[in-house]
A and B are shown apart, each in its own frame.
Chain A
Amino acid sequence: EIVLTQSPGTLSLSPGERATLSCWASQTVTRSQLAWYQQRPGQAPRLIIHGVSNRATGIPDRFSASGSGTDFTLSISRLEPEDSAVYFCHQYSSSFTFGPGTKVDVK
């Protein structure tokens, strides 16, 4: 099983700043099969990124992502209060596993 680790656990930033979230895999994630989801309090997860760097429909270009192999990054520029959420990475290269999440608090 591919285990995903995310850091930091919590990120507290001000509006307008940039957030950088990391996701590490215990084994190589092949064929760019990594996604990111945003989950606001009390809501279902929402797809942000698939295929390592492809923004989902309706996701603003403030969200960008990159990586390969075992190291992946999600960046959120010009943070807005509505970006406050937990962000999960997800690999679908070998079965399906999720990272523990990074909580982003924008205020």
Chain B
Amino acid sequence: DVYLLESGGGLVRPGGSLRLSCAASGFSFSTYAMTWVRQAPGKGLEWVSVISGSGDRAYYPDSVKGRFTISRDNSKNTVYLEMYSLRAEDTAVYYCAKGGSYYDYWGPGSLVSVSS
């Protein structure tokens, strides 16, 4: 069975930084692109970042470009999201998901709250 589990969320002040991790199991991790998607409280879904299976390509929407960095460690079956210069509008549940087009498995999510 495929499992994804995010960790590292919490309360951070505006301008602060946070690193999320997503541990994966149950599939050949390095074969698949991985994606982060976020959902603000009571809102819809927003794509945040995607990284290729080898880790050599990554993409971001303009809303986080230059502030967020996605990376992966295929030896640990883990994908990361480093978030800098956090803003109140970054407050959301952050999901990691398997896949680089559609997402066939999702983790339960990790809540990031940006507030003073």
Could you tell me which A residues sit within 8 Å of B by CB distance? 33, 35, 37, 43-47, 50-51, 56-57, 88, 90, 92, 95-101
Contact = CB atoms under 8 A, between A and B. Distances in A.
Interface residues of B, number: 19
B33 to A, nearest CB: 11
A90 B47 CA distance: 10
Interface of B: 35, 37, 44-47, 50, 59, 61, 95, 101-109
Contacts of B101: 33, 92
B49 to A, nearest CB: 10
Given A45-B45, A98-B47, A100-B44, A57 B104 contact: yes
B71 to A, nearest CB: 19
Given A45-B103, A56-B104, A98-B45, 5 more contacts: A35-B103, A44-B106, A96-B35, A98-B47, A99-B44
Which of B95, B102, B107 counts the most A-chain CB atoms under 10 A from its CB?
B102
A90 B102 contact: yes
B61 A95 contact: yes
